[in-house]
Amino acid sequence: MAENTAHAVNVAMRGGGYYSTATKGAKDVIDGATPLVVSAISRLPDRDASIPFTFADMGCADGGTSLDLVRQIIGAVRTRWRRRRPISVIYTDQPRNDYNSLFRIVQGLTPLPSYLSKAEDVYVFASATSFYRQILPAGTLDLGFSATAMHWLSRKPCDITDHIQAVGASGAELAAFAEQAQRDWETILLQRARELIPGGRLVLVNFVKDDAGRYLGNTGGVNMFDTFNGLWQRFVAEGVISREEYVRMTLPQYYKTVEEFTRPLTDAASAVYRAGLRLEQSETRIVPCPFAAEFREHGDAARFAGEYIPTLRSWTESTFLAALSPERLPEERQSIIDRYYEAYEALVRENPMGHGMDYVHIYMTIAKTGA
């Protein structure tokens, strides 16, 4: 294992509304979870309609990809309680998140249509609190939701010496990531157990390594993470970056298996189970990369490359930048990163077949015991 590797996570989705604009697939994933969320609302315990209904979107980024989901939640709550019940919508993410874009999108100040324009008695709040901590007072959360967020670890347990992501790790390095991920997952669930009302629900949609070994960007075509890694290695060979900078570029992520996800919720001896959380439903799904699907229709390789690379850049750029030596001038660091994504775009443009970022997720509904 590489030394000097206890690291805080340095991650931020690209701001300015870029995330929602570039990540069509992330919205497709959330839209696919909407029936599960509506079903969960129908099974919530009866409560006095004067008590606000509290919903939390954890790991919300700029909020654009979940606008339609929240609109559906408002309608389901109105139907469930038949008369108006105040609704609190809590957006949560890490402190580095672009909350300016979040508020602009939710308040309808962008071309994205917001639910607030037609919603009454709906109150929007935001918390710059990580889902690794308790976000809401105990026993106040009716419904928690998170999509495509909880693969980010609370810390990077080590650098990976020959790849940029744990899917390419082995030996002690892989074991360190797996151990960190399991501790983090239990922490997330225990915090939610404290927040949920008795009978409350969580709908969590997370990247998974499925039973066939498929994961994000690896569903039978060109392996996305191997491509990331190969280009970064090429920059070392060409003298663009140092070996040390290559190694520092380790994404603080881990894709758990179905068994790793479900174990704390089904093992009666686990702290999570003893805290009252129970698995109601789980399934894995693949949501096709929308850019690759469109390419198969229009056949324009340059267009595909130009549309596909921004979605990769939206969630990786901050980590690539952080890997570069602080002794480099900011302009030099940004120039290297721009060259990197230009190289990836050129690769896709020149040989587009097989590229794409199919999403592989586990969709889980979790209940808090009690009535």
Residue 203 phi/psi, 5° resolution? -120, 110
1 within a domain of the structure (yes/no): no
Structure tokens at 211: 């039973």
Region 344-355: mean pLDDT is 98
- Give the C-alpha separation, 304 to 355, whole Å: 10
Region 338-354: mean pLDDT is 98
Number of domains making up the chain: 1
Can you give the residue range of the structural domain that contains 39?
Answer: 7-368
325 within a domain of the structure (yes/no): yes
Q: pTM to 2 decimals? A: 0.91
72 within a domain of the structure (yes/no): yes
- Give the torsion through C-alpha atoms of 254, 63, 358, 337, to 10 deg: -70
3-class SS at 231? helix
- Give the C-alpha separation, 107 to 17, whole Å: 13
* pLDDT, the chain, mean: 93
pLDDT(16) > 50:
no
pLDDT digits (tens, 9 = 90+) for 304-315: 999 999 999 989
Amino acid sitting at position 29: V
Helix intervals (H) in 23-129: 24-42, 67-81, 99-106
Other Cβ atoms within 10 Å of 341 Cβ, number:
17
- Give the C-alpha separation, 63 to 91, whole Å: 8
Which pLDDT band, with edges at 50, 70 and 90, does 12 fall under? Answer: very low
Higher pLDDT, 29 or 17: 29
pLDDT digits (tens, 9 = 90+) for 231-270: 999 999 999 999 999 999 999 999 999 999 999 999 999 9
Structure tokens at 354: 């097989």
2 within a domain of the structure (yes/no): no
Region 227-231: mean pLDDT is 98
Give the 3-state DSSP-derived string for 5-52, with helices as H, strands as E and coil as C: CCEECCCCCCCCCHHHHHCHHHHHHHHHHHHHHHHHHHCCCCCCCCCC
pLDDT digits (tens, 9 = 90+) for 88-125: 999 999 998 999 999 999 999 999 999 998 888 999 99
Region 361-371: mean pLDDT is 92
pLDDT digits (tens, 9 = 90+) for 141-197: 999 999 999 999 999 999 999 999 999 999 999 999 999 999 999 999 999 999 999
pLDDT at site 6: 42
332 within a domain of the structure (yes/no): yes
pLDDT at site 296: 96
Find the CATH number of the domain harbouring 345. 3.40.50.150
pLDDT(5) > 60:
no
pLDDT(14) > 70:
no
